[in-house]
Amino acid sequence: MNTNRKVILVTGASSGIGEATARHLAAKGHHLVIGARRTDRLEKLAAELNAAGGSVEFASLDVTDLEDVRAFAGLALEKHGRIDVIINNAGVMPLSPLEALKIDEWNQMIDVNIRGVLHGIAAVLPVMKKQGSGQVINVSSIAGHAVWPTCAVYSATKYAVIAISDGLRQENTDIRVTVISPGVTTSELAHTITHDETAGFIDKFREVAIPAEAIAKAIGFAIDQPDDVDVNEIIVRPTASPN
């Protein structure tokens, strides 16, 4: 039995890093509330984890909708009376060169990758301040540290996640703030690319990848630290990755 069970929210939990993180943290005995748009996947995942002895609630979640995110946080409060950690993991990556002018996709990345993180923070910050403790874990990317052709807007959103996270850290002495920056990781992110030439380039780029479980373990490590230890950022990339 985990004597330090925490109430943890995970966004984007229906696949990839979010799903792997839910599995990892449930196995460690934490109380989870998982959210995503694909509730059929969430329901199946929650049932599997609960059958194995986990404590998992799920809810439909659109991180671009502030009231939806607030309701998601409210579910955790209703079930457990507190929120210890939020993992702002939901993200999209429809890469393309700027001259393709895929403006709707630019806006989608801004809405999900930046506003989604801000909405997560807004939903839990008052609760954590009242508790006098909490942890916000935001998933950025190696694209938040460097820019490559086709990823100008995506990188901009991930740089923003790092800036927002460090601002939040500096403004609070009672809340831990962690950025997780994955390198190429097995996920469905690349499936959202609609620009054919970019899709081919990314398929080659993603031939060297690490499993989502590696990122889940990094997240678990940050959560496991004592309350007075704040792991501010972890970059996790394939050993063989040149980028």
The catalytic residue positions are 154
Nearest to 85 by CA among 9, 31, 140, 138: 9
**What's the length of the chain?**
243
Judged by DSSP in three states, 233 sits in strand
Give the integer Cα–Cα distance in Å for 130 and 153. Answer: 36
Place of tokens 């060169």: 97
Rounded Cα distance, 65 and 187, in Å: 24
Rounded to whole angstroms, what are the CA distances from 91 to 68, 150, 230?
16, 17, 24
**Cβ-proximal residues to 62 (8 Å cutoff; 6+ apart), any chain:** 37, 68
